Amino acid sequence: MKIQTPFTKMMNIDYPIIAAPMFLVSNVEMVTAVSNAGGIGTFPALNYRPIEKYIEALKEMKSKTKKPIGVNVIVNKSNTRANDDIKYALDAGVELFITSLGSPKDVIREAHKNGAKVICDVVNLEHAKKVQDLGADGVIAVGAGAGGHAGPISPIVLVSWLQKKLSIPVIAAGGIADGATMASMITLGASAVSVGTRFIACKEAKIDQAYKDAVVKATPEDIVMTTRLSGTPAAVIRTPYIDQMGLDLPWYLKILKDQKLTKKYIVPLIHFLGSKSLEQAATGPTWKTVWSAGQSVGLIEDILSCEDIILKLVREYEECLEKTPRLK
């Protein structure tokens, strides 16, 4: 049994479910388990450093699944590894690229030479049209409520808006953690759903247990937006450390970030300091707790295997559609 959409046909997968690439969380076991279960597992290239570890991880993933997998490549200037990230992924036979924070032009050109597909994170119509014109195979509509760098528009509106204005598949991201939220997005015309936060609370994630427990215990009201991590708003779980640190960049970094002459030096520095905070919190106990997550924490009540998460999403999706009131 399959759920067929333009995206599942394009990627030759059973279910329109992407396990979103999550900084410091996604790993070999998660990616391959999701792909083997009928969705498509993805991971950020920068989860594996130095580059040798990235090459090893790609080989391991390709040895553990014959199904498609995806890599997230940051395509702005702060990622000096971008060209290598693309090259080694293509060498390994990666079928899907997800781009964020910049122009996907180079990724699209190189991926299409190999028959790989490229989908791009977008938060508005302007950027979505630009990547469609560049030849992107789809967009991920990152709406309000998503983890990480969430957009400001309600996913209900963003998905409906983009799918009416674009000719390529629109994938919904933000607030999706069960079959009902998945059904709502597919009904709106989304070609797939990108699910992140639900997969933080999975057995295969090799993160600190406290991070998984925090996702299970948190409510949507515990998610706050902070610019301290990267200079752009990012969703995290509120903790005493977040309260102490504050949600905004210090005034002097704000000024330097907005100046033409200093921006190119300051933005990479903010990214570096923010990623260090996330790394410490995700991998071991620390009072400096910075846990990335979206508002769908409120829908997560247990820690399951990746396979069980996929099967539960599909089962609940079907149940939701059956229960939906219809005209009689």
What's residue 222's pLDDT?
A: 94
Structure-token pair, residue 176: 């999706």
What 3-state DSSP class applies to 65?
coil
In whole angstroms, what separates CA 14 from the centre of its chain?
20
Q: Pick the residue with more confidence: 77 or 42?
A: 42
DSSP state of 229: T
Least confident of 209-213, 218-222, 242-246: 242-246
What's residue 287's pLDDT?
A: 38
Percent of the chain with pLDDT over 90: 70
Cα–Cα separations (whole angstroms), residue 75 to 17, 42, 204: 24, 16, 28
Q: Is 126's pLDDT higher than 90?
A: yes
What confidence category does residue 91 fall into, taking pLDDT thresholds of 50, 70 and 90? very high
Least confident of 197-201, 301-305, 323-327: 323-327
Average pLDDT over every residue of 302-326: 96
Long-range contacts made by residues 244-252, C-beta under 8 angstroms, separation at least 24?
none
Give the pLDDT confidence of 92-105 residue by residue, as tens digits: 999 999 998 788 99
Q: Pick the residue with more confidence: 98 or 1?
A: 98
> DSSP states of 292-324 as a string?
B--GGGGG----B-HHHHHHHHHHHHHHHHHHS
Residues linked to residue 224 through DSSP beta bridges, in sequence order: 236
What's residue 252's pLDDT?
A: 45
Helical (H) or strand (E) element with 120: strand 117-122
Give dist(CA 212, CA 203) in Å, integer.
9
In whole angstroms, what separates CA 2 from the centre of its chain?
23
What confidence category does residue 281 fall into, taking pLDDT thresholds of 50, 70 and 90? very low
Alpha-carbon torsion (102, 103, 109, 112), positive or negative: positive
* Domain boundaries, given as residue ranges, for the chain: 6-206+301-323, 209-283
Tell me if 206 sits within 8 A of 27, measured CB to CB: yes
- Those residues whose C-beta lies under 8 Å from the C-beta of residue 51, and which sit 6 or more positions away, are 81, 84, 88
In this structure, the strands spanning 234-237 and 17-19 are unpaired
What's residue 58's pLDDT?
A: 98
Residues 101-130 as b/e (b if ≥16 CB within 10 A, e otherwise) read bbebbbbbebbeeeebbbbbbbbebeebee
* Mean of the per-residue pLDDT values of the chain: 88
What's residue 328's pLDDT?
A: 85
Give dist(CA 285, CA 299) in Å, integer.
25
Least confident of 21-30, 101-110, 187-196, 222-231: 222-231
Q: Which of 121, 129, 134 is nearest to 167 (CA)?
A: 129
Give the pLDDT confidence of 144-163 residue by residue, as tens digits: 999 988 889 999 999 999 99
Report pTM: 0.88
What confidence category does residue 326 fall into, taking pLDDT thresholds of 50, 70 and 90? confident
Q: Assign domain 6-206+301-323 to its CATH superfamily.
A: Aldolase class I (3.20.20.70)
Other CB atoms within a 10 A radius of the CB of residue 248 amount to: 13
Give dist(CA 207, CA 213) in Å, integer.
11
Q: Pick the residue with more confidence: 2 or 258?
A: 2
Which stretch, 30-44, 93-107, 250-264, 278-292, has highest mean pLDDT? 30-44
